[in-house]
Structure 1
Amino acid sequence: MTNKVVKNNEISSVGIIGCGWLGSALAYQLKKQGVAVLATRSNSDNAEQLKSQGIEAEVLSLPAEQALVNTHAIFKQQCLVIAITPQFRQGRVDYADKIQQLVESAKEGNCVEQIVLLSSSAIYNGLSGQVKEDSTLDMSADKVSVLNQAEQAVLNFNSHCSNESRLNALNDDVGNKKAYVLRLSGLVGPKRHPGKFLLNGRLLKSPQAIVNLIHQQDAVGLIQALLQSAICGGIFNGVSSTQVTKKQYYQAAASALQLPSPTFDESELSAESDPKVVSSEKTQAELAYAFVYDDLLTWLEQGE
């Protein structure tokens, strides 16, 4: 399917929902460019922490009554970046419901022109070989169904607006609504050096799996590229071109921090005959984004 291209208006304001480690880095970059930023966190302590860092922030805790969510100031922004985490490890199963609630509020307010959902390459769980944005998903695999429901809720923001546009062809603002999903791979960067995951001396599984990673700076760059894109919407993978085994990468990470070489569960070697590789081909071609840290082995060696 060919992506529709629409007029790309100047960005004046961005709301970052769930503004944590990555969202804060995005906020700083947007503010440098003169874009007004409003961020949210789920509790007042974290919101105050953002304020102390110079980021305007308010509390938004989900799920909540839809009518109450609709009135939140975040939905007065021109663009929304949804960066809340699924919290699967905490046993949460309501991620898709939260995303749906945010999309409904964005529709109701009629101020939001585009939404970027920061999803996860975990949506490719259960697959092997090269995986692309149009790969058929394994809905029986862990996390996949919930992540897919969340993505579809955001992509339907675009469809909803397209339907409205047909009813009111004179309304250019409605016709310019956009919805993007950015499937981010494992994040590395400041305060997230992969070598630090080795400090507890745990046994690492799947040594022959291919690492699918992206640096924080490139994740921010891709989000900005989507916000500025003339493409009407779609799904994009956020991943570097670094394609080495988990064993190679974490050995290099340990060496960079002068840590002992990690221990791997070699019993899983036979299970990785066709390791999963997340493709960045579409992202690099359609967004024309040049990665700053496309080679994450070099990044480790440089110690940045």
Structure 2
Amino acid sequence: MKTISIIGCGWLGLPLGKYLSEKDYLVKGSTTHSEKLEILQENGIEPFLLKLNPQLECEYVDNFLDSDILLINIPPKISLQKTDAHIEQIANLLTAVENSPVKNIIYVSSTSVYPELNREVIEEDVLTPERSASPTMVKAENLLKSFSANVTILRSAGLMGYDRIPAKYFAGWKGLTTGDIPVNYIHRDDIIRIIETVIEKGIWGETFNVVSPIHPIRKEVYARNCEETGFEMPEFVESPTPQPYKIISPDKWLKKSEYHFIFSNPLDYFYQLPE
């Protein structure tokens, strides 16, 4: 039985842990809130209270890190990026991992590392913090790459699906000028199965963009969302100047993994309004 420890059992980590538990993985998961420990337990996840402030605080850290695989899903907070606190979080975590059985690490990064280059972008377009739109994230990636374990980095596009509905955040807005920009999204169901594919196929030691391969423009996505969920359609106007954009390519991942997306097109995503 494979054992995986998930740092960060929130919107992605909790359903991921539940999914892997149902696939007969032994799943350990962390939260920073004691009231969520019971929720993890109810979803088949052995719960741990773990904080990185940026020092590692976890009473049973040796037990938590007694795993084959460690998944790190703690994006840096904007308020912490100026001080590189996220780098300290990762460094302190790796100090503990160094003396553990963990041999493989998955780090959930972000396509926010790419600047708006007005073209399709691939993994090699950002290798150093100086070339990145999110230097902190790339510094964290590079720190992990220098570690002794096998590290796979997944640069995730904007996570959508279920209650994360793009148009919800702009319902009724007026004068938006970004309607013709292509979107870079991935559905939660896909990234969960991509993580499973990394583990099952042993795809270690590489960096991948994980993003739906079709990129409709933003106003098309919002229009479909509003039609399906009843949100008020935002108003788009023509921009007086060309809007910068980027199209994230998943080709490297697709060639390496032969993965078949559940949702290739954000226009087809499954959403679920809260009851």
Q: TM-score, normalising length from structure 2? A: 0.87
Q: Which of residues 201, 211, 215 in structure 2 aligns to 1:229?
A: 201
Aligned: 1:108 with 2:99: yes
Q: Which has the higher helix share?
A: 1
Q: Where does the alignment leave 5 or more consecutive residues of structure 2 unmatched?
A: none
**CA drift at 1:67:** 9.2
RMSD: 2.8
Q: Compared with structure 1, are the counterparts of its residues 241 and 119 closer, same or farther at alpha carbon in structure 2 (3 Å cutoff)? A: same
C-alpha separation between the residues in 2 aligned to 1:38 and 1:302? 27
Deviations 1:211-264 (A, max 9, x none): 000000100011111112333311011100121111222122222223332123
Q: Compared with structure 1, are the counterparts of its residues 190 and 271 closer, same or farther at alpha carbon in structure 2 (3 Å cutoff)? A: closer
C-alpha separation between the residues in 2 aligned to 1:199 and 1:73? 45
Partner residue of 1:293?
Answer: 263
Q: Point out the more displaced range, 206-215 or 115-124.
A: 206-215
C-alpha separation between the residues in 2 aligned to 1:58 and 1:37? 11
Amino acid at match of 1:61: K
C-alpha separation between the residues in 2 aligned to 1:23 and 1:215? 14
**CA drift at 1:104:** 2.4
C-alpha separation between the residues in 2 aligned to 1:196 and 1:300? 14
Q: Compared with structure 1, are the counterparts of its residues 82 and 205 closer, same or farther at alpha carbon in structure 2 (3 Å cutoff)? A: farther
Q: Which of residues 222, 231, 252 in structure 2 aligns to 1:259?
A: 231
Q: TM-score, normalising length from structure 1? A: 0.80
Amino acid at match of 1:231: I
The number of equivalent residue pairs is 272
Aligned: 1:96 with 2:87: yes
C-alpha separation between the residues in 2 aligned to 1:202 and 1:112? 50
The 5 A counterparts of 1:12-27 are: 12-27=2-17
- Determine if contact 1:126/1:141 at 8 Å carries over to the other structure: no
The 5 A counterparts of 1:94-243 are: 94-109=85-100, 111-136=101-126, 139=129, 144-157=134-147, 160=148, 177-199=149-171, 201=173, 204-243=176-215
- Give the SS at the match of 2:39: helix
The 5 A counterparts of 1:31-50 are: 31-50=21-40
C-alpha separation between the residues in 2 aligned to 1:236 and 1:202? 36
**CA drift at 1:139:** 4.0
- Determine if contact 1:117/1:181 at 8 Å carries over to the other structure: yes
**CA drift at 1:142:** 7.5
Q: Where does the alignment leave 5 or more consecutive residues of structure 1 unmatched?
A: 1-10, 161-176
C-alpha separation between the residues in 2 aligned to 1:184 and 1:29? 19
**CA drift at 1:146:** 0.2
- Give the SS at the match of 2:12: helix
C-alpha separation between the residues in 1 aligned to 2:90 and 2:174? 34
C-alpha separation between the residues in 1 aligned to 2:237 and 2:128? 26
